[in-house]
Amino acid sequence: MSVLRTKSIEQSIRETDDPDYALKKSLSWLDLTVFGIGVIIGAGIFTFTGKAAKAYAGPSIVISFVIAAIVCALAALCYAEFASTVPVSGSAYTFSYASLGEVVAWIIGWDLLLELALGAGVVSQGWSSYANLLLGDLGIHLPDALAPRTEDNPAGQLNLLAFLLIAILTALVAWGIKESMRVNLVLVGIKLFIVLFVIFAGLAYIKSANYHPFIPPAKAGAASEGLKQPVIQALLGFTPTTYGLGGIVAGASIVFFAYIGFDVVATTAEEARNPQRDLPIGIIASLVICTILYVAVAFVITGMVRYDKIDPDAALATAFKDAGKAGYGTVISCGAVAGLTTVVMTLIIGASRVLFAMCRDWLLPPSLGRTNPRTGTPVRITILVGLVVAFIGAYLGNHIDLEEMVNIGTLAAFTLVSVAVPILRRKRPDLKRAFTVPLSPVVPLLAAVASLYLMLNLSIETWIRFLVWMAAGFVIYFLYSHRNARLAGRPKEDEVPSLTST
């Protein structure tokens, strides 16, 4: 009954044959790459570039994106090794169950639910800002109480556009994974066209003066005082600042949100046709492509508009409108609406697959995780995730800033997955690994240290919220999950014996 009991790789793979919990294997490496691009390119380009440049780093936000990408690349190598070795739904949750033990797997699973559900809700708000801007261009104006809450509309209470988006996408995800991917492919194509359009069209409107100073001088700021200050500043006695070198690192911690996505690819491992080959390709290719595009867009936008004049809610569209190209702004708003749609959809898929894996292990009620014979998807879980995301996007996000909560959840998962790679290698050197992290254990440990350092650059307030969320998770684990898990040795009625044996 140890909380550190582990689940063998063979058992995890064997359980995928349970007909009540079987997912369709229909995804190719191209599907996975597009899936990763679909979720990575979104809020980072369309919303967070402007927010982070204005509040943290100025034009040097370009460097922040590079730093975040390096951390992600280190972690991506670890994810690629695990995903190709353990091709089972659940991503970091499943990996840690096989290497670090059940309680750590629970921590990561609970943590991933925070990352993915909150991420979907936060991005739906970015989507609603662009959609509302587009409706305004068409002469349609929502009542202030139902419109997105922004600096220009502090009266927003219920975000109607975000709610409608989540309701439609939840229905689509419940309908089927392949159908969701077809829609994703079309929308990703539109999104990539818009991103390339921004880069090449924006080059003509760059003013070199906007890059000076490239790294704005550090200064004290109210946003970095009290509970708003980064933990590392409080621990080491730094003077709270924005901009400067500290601002670049803080900016990297914020724009890290832009890279969540390659880890979501791993949550679909069980639905890949050839996971040993396709998962590493999908994870690494999507990260490389998106990093190049992020850096290019950040460079263009901070060159078009002085960093302290950037619109944090719709940076790209507003930049072109300020340059006298309102028509371009409308095109970009259309692309942002399409692009952010794919992000919300893929995060909903990721959250539902992590929850599905936890239900199949009986850490949560197993009846929730059963797949629908017709759709091949966990419909009950998908609807539950949709309801939670709708509450976050339509209401909670209007009243609380949640971006940093998503980042700390992601970084915590990266840290534990990176540590788990050398541990599993030592425990199971006999496992066939289609992809291996080079220079292990050095690279995995670097990934863990870098992720932890970025976590320490997040605010004290974010850490307090994160610890409260994790405390709630521990209560559920010890009151229900630990006693009812498959590994507790209490098979349910009609349970296949092999699924509970070790």
What would the pLDDT profile of 445-467 be if each residue is shown by its tens digit? 999 998 898 888 888 888 998 99
| Best CA proximity match to 411, nearest among 447, 363, 373 | 447
> 242 has which bridge partners?
219
% the chain with pLDDT above 70: 91
Rounded Cα–Cα distance for residues 345 and 45 (Å): 17
Summary mean pLDDT of the chain: 83
Average pLDDT value for residue range 29-34? 85
Q: Tell me if 447 sits within 8 A of 71, measured CB to CB.
A: yes
What does the DSSP assignment read for 147-194? SPP-SS-TT--S-HHHHHHHHHHHHHHHH-HHHHHHHHHHHHHHHHHH
The label of the residue with tokens 């689940």 reads 7
What would the pLDDT profile of 349-398 be if each residue is shown by its tens digit? 888 988 998 998 999 998 888 888 877 788 899 999 999 999 988 887 66
pLDDT above 80 (res 142): yes
* pLDDT band (50, 70, 90) for residue 500: very low
Per-residue pLDDT at 401: 65
* pLDDT band (50, 70, 90) for residue 184: confident
Per-residue pLDDT at 464: 92
What does the DSSP assignment read for 201-250? HHGGG--GGGGSSSSPPPB--GGGSGGGSBHHHHHHTPPP-BSHHHHHHH
* pLDDT band (50, 70, 90) for residue 206: very high
Q: pTM for the full model?
A: 0.77
Q: Tell me if 469 sits within 8 A of 462, measured CB to CB.
A: no
Q: Tell me if 500 sits within 8 A of 13, measured CB to CB.
A: no
* pLDDT band (50, 70, 90) for residue 168: very high
Average pLDDT value for residue range 20-37? 80
Rounded Cα–Cα distance for residues 297 and 53 (Å): 12
* pLDDT band (50, 70, 90) for residue 493: very low
Per-residue pLDDT at 400: 67
Q: Tell me if 129 sits within 8 A of 313, measured CB to CB.
A: yes
Q: Tell me if 247 sits within 8 A of 218, measured CB to CB.
A: yes
Per-residue pLDDT at 231: 85
* Residue 320 one-letter amino acid: F
What would the pLDDT profile of 94-123 be if each residue is shown by its tens digit? 878 888 889 988 998 898 888 888 888 888
Least confident interval from 68-72, 75-79, 91-95, 350-354: 91-95
What does the DSSP assignment read for 46-71? IIIHHHHIIIIIGGGHHHHHHHHHHH
Compare 262 and 370 and report the one with higher pLDDT.
370
* pLDDT band (50, 70, 90) for residue 501: very low
Q: Give all domains of the chain, ordered by start, each with its CATH number.
A: 25-487 (1.20.1740.10)
